[in-house]
Amino acid sequence: MTDTPAPDQAQAQTPAGPPLIRVLAQYVKDLSFENPGIFAANPSNAAPEIELGIDVRVEPGPPDQNIFSVELKLSARAKRQDAVVFIVELVYGGVVQLQDAKREDAEPMLLIECPRLLFPFARRIIADITREGGHPPLMIDPIDFVGLYRQQRQRAEAEAATAAPKA
């Protein structure tokens, strides 16, 4: 007889490691660039006004594998006075797998850490497409995904509080 535990017992005794995110794939899901104002007069060479939109969506994959699709949607509209200079919209996706993540850790990992991993690639695509469109590259500043997540949670909690039936 041996003192070595059976493989199932050894795995049960081994503590789970820290939660990990494995990026299985990254891809451009949708990309749109419109350039209606390339010939707009700009005597002062003033920089256009940029409106930026950010959205993060998560779709679960096979539940037994902890695989998710995370989509980072970035949109930018450049305007000079009343004329639209350009519009760019990008949906950049990633297929990720969470390992050793607790249920309460999964949502922040998917809505904060995964977009943080995808953002530099999406930012580069937008910079390249605006440059190829004849404009200076649009370099989007780093995004505070923690702050966006907190705002989303506060909004959801406020909506739940107002939707709850009053006694």
Q: In sequence order, which residues have a C-beta less than 8 Å from that of residue 103 and are 6 or more positions away?
A: none
Question: What value does the mean pLDDT of the chain take?
Answer: 86
Q: In sequence order, which residues have a C-beta less than 8 Å from that of residue 30 and are 6 or more positions away?
A: 89, 90, 91
pLDDT at 10: 44
pLDDT in tens, 143-164: 999 999 999 889 888 888 887 6
Please give the domain boundaries of the chain with CATH numbers for all domains: 26-40+48-142 (3.10.420.10)
Q: Is the pLDDT of residue 99 over 70?
A: yes
Average pLDDT over residues 122-136: 95
Q: Is the pLDDT of residue 111 over 90?
A: yes
* Under 8 Å between Cβ of 106 and 96: no
Average pLDDT over residues 114-131: 97
pLDDT in tens, 48-66: 899 999 999 999 998 788 8
* Spatial distance between the Cα atoms of 82 and 48, rounded to a whole number of angstroms: 10
Taking CA atoms, 14 is separated from 6, 9, 25, 97, in Å, by 12, 9, 29, 21
Beginning with the edge strand found earlier in the chain, give each strand of the sheet holding 83-99 in spatial order.
Answer: 20-34, 83-99, 67-80, 49-60
φ/ψ of residue 111, rounded to 5: -100, -10
Q: Is the pLDDT of residue 165 over 80?
A: no
> How buried is 116 (Cβ within 10 angstroms: 0-12 exposed, 13-18 middle, 19+ buried)?
middle
Task: Show the tokens assigned to 31.
Answer: 């990309």
Q: Which of 4-8, 33-37, 90-94, 110-114 has the least mean pLDDT?
A: 4-8
Q: Which residue has the higher pLDDT, 30 or 100?
A: 30
Q: Which residue has the higher pLDDT, 40 or 4?
A: 40
Instruction: Give the confidence band of 42 by pLDDT, cuts at 50, 70, 90.
Output: low
